[in-house]
């Protein structure tokens, strides 16, 4: 019976941000350019406000300029699109991030598709999604990129391994599977219609849970010695933050596990900074 080693997302994110800070300082010294991230928030959703504040703090930490555009909840679609157009044309803006979800009356897809692919630091634009598919990418979606960085940090090789991803969302599950495939993993994607989920999971050398169901993955669904990455961010029956993985039972089987909080979450934030730096290089 193994007791899993923890992959510390906070420590990994700190290392990534320290590198980004150095590279941004070098860019400024050599070219005068400072990476700039524009964050657009519409309405006053409290969770979105926390995320936007965190992004501002991350930018300050690595030496980027962050500019916030806070729009009223009843902002019209054409006004939001006009702002995106303005930011697309603005030389000081390297990355544009529209905080989701948008209020119901706005068409999320047309807003995201309006962002220039060269400034699309969330990697949601079809051009960037297509580039990920063919392995010719500039920006990677932040959460899957964060997971890959954590695997690297823990010196876990993906090549030839059985990788099982639970979840097929456009933001996490699908691109996660593609990145594991690019690293030569043998990838299975499970989802809400999958029969015998536990059976698939038990085959995994690397198991990534991106579902949104608290503690779905139990110890008896995990192979002895597997690497278990928990992307989920849920509330348990007591309102406490928890992942998709039942940490206690899985930690006795896995070789590596990521905690929630303090696992994939901080890495997602760090990878947004990475994408903003990449965008600044692109515009240099
Ligand atoms: P989503 O709701 O878009 O997708 C969930 C996926 O899980 C779907 O593809 C669905 O088919 C699958 N699913 C649902 N129930 C299932 C079940 N019982 N068995 C197997 N598959 C099932 O969610 P998402 O945006 O991909 O996010 C997933 C989780 O990751 C959420 O908890 C979210 O909060 C979290 N998340 C965390 C971060 C982070 O930075 N840590 C970032 C993004 C999302």
Q: Where exactly are the structural domains of the chain?
A: 32-116, 140-265
Q: How confident is the model at residue 248 (pLDDT cuts 50, 70, 90)?
A: very high
How many whole angstroms from 167 Cα to the centroid of ligand 1?
Answer: 6
Q: Are 65 and 34 spatial neighbours (Cβ–Cβ below 8 Å)?
A: yes
Report pLDDT digits (tens) over 176-210. 999 999 999 999 999 999 999 999 999 999 999 99
Residue 2 has pLDDT above 80, yes or no: no
Write down the residue that tokens 């690293």 correspond to: 183
Is the domain spanning 32-116 CATH 1.10.10.10? The answer is no
Ligand 1 neighbours, Cβ below 6 Å, are 143, 166-169, 171-173, 190-192, 194, 197, 210-213, 216, 231-234, 264-265, 268
Distances in whole angstroms, Cα of residue 265 to Cα of each of 140, 229, 242, 257: 16, 11, 12, 14
How many whole angstroms from 177 Cα to the centroid of ligand 1?
Answer: 13
Q: Are 178 and 37 spatial neighbours (Cβ–Cβ below 8 Å)?
A: no
Residue nearest to atom 30 of ligand 1 (CA): 232
Note the pLDDT of residue 1: 60
Mean local confidence (pLDDT), 164-172:
98
Residue nearest to atom 34 of ligand 1 (CA): 233
Report the CATH number of the 140-265 domain.
Answer: 3.40.50.720
What residues contact 107, with CB distance under 8 A and at least 6 apart?
77
Q: Is 106 left (phi over 0), alpha (psi -120 to 50) or beta?
A: beta
How many whole angstroms from 211 Cα to the centroid of ligand 1?
Answer: 3
CA distance 12 to 17: 9
Q: Are 137 and 124 spatial neighbours (Cβ–Cβ below 8 Å)?
A: no
pTM assigned to the model: 0.97
CA distance 83 to 189: 37
Annotated catalytic residues are 55, 99, 122
How many whole angstroms from 32 Cα to the centroid of ligand 1?
Answer: 41
Report pLDDT digits (tens) over 134-153. 999 999 999 999 999 999 99
Measured from the Cα of 264, ligand 1's closest atom is: 41
Distances in whole angstroms, Cα of residue 255 to Cα of each of 3, 100, 175, 199, 221: 7, 35, 24, 19, 14
Residue nearest to atom 42 of ligand 1 (CA): 143
């Amino acid at each position: 019976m193994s007791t899993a080693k923890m992959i510390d997302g906070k420590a990994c994110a700190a290392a990534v941000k320290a590198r980004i800070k150095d590279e941004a300082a070098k860019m400024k010294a050599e070219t005068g350019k400072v990476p700039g991230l524009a964050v657009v928030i519409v309405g006053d959703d409290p969770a979105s406000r926390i995320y936007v504040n965190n992004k501002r703090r991350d930018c300050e930490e690595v030496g980027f300029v962050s500019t916030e555009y806070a729009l009223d909840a009843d902002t019209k679609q054409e006004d939001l699109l006009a702002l995106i157009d303005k930011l697309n044309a603005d030389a000081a803006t390297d990355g544009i991030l529209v905080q989701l979800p948008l209020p119901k009356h706005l068409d999320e897809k047309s807003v995201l598709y309006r962002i220039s692919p060269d400034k699309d630091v969330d990697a949601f634009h079809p051009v960037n999604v297509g580039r990920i598919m063919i392995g010719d990418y500039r920006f990677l979606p932040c959460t899957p990129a964060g997971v890959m960085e954590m695997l690297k940090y823990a010196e876990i090789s993906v090549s030839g391994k059985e990788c099982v991803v639970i979840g097929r969302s456009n933001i996490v599950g699908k691109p996660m599977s593609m990145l594991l495939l690019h690293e030569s993993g043998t990838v299975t994607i499970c989802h809400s219609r999958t029969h015998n989920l536990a059976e698939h999971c038990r085959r995994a050398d690397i198991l990534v849970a991106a579902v949104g169901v608290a503690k779905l993955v139990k110890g008896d669904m995990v192979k002895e010695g597997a690497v278990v990455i928990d992307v989920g961010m849920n509330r348990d029956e007591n309102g406490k933050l928890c992942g998709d993985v039942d940490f206690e039972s899985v930690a006795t089987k896995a070789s590596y596990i990521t905690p929630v909080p303090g696992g994939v979450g901080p890495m997602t934030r760090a990878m947004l900074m990475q994408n903003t730096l990449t965008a600044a290089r692109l515009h240099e």
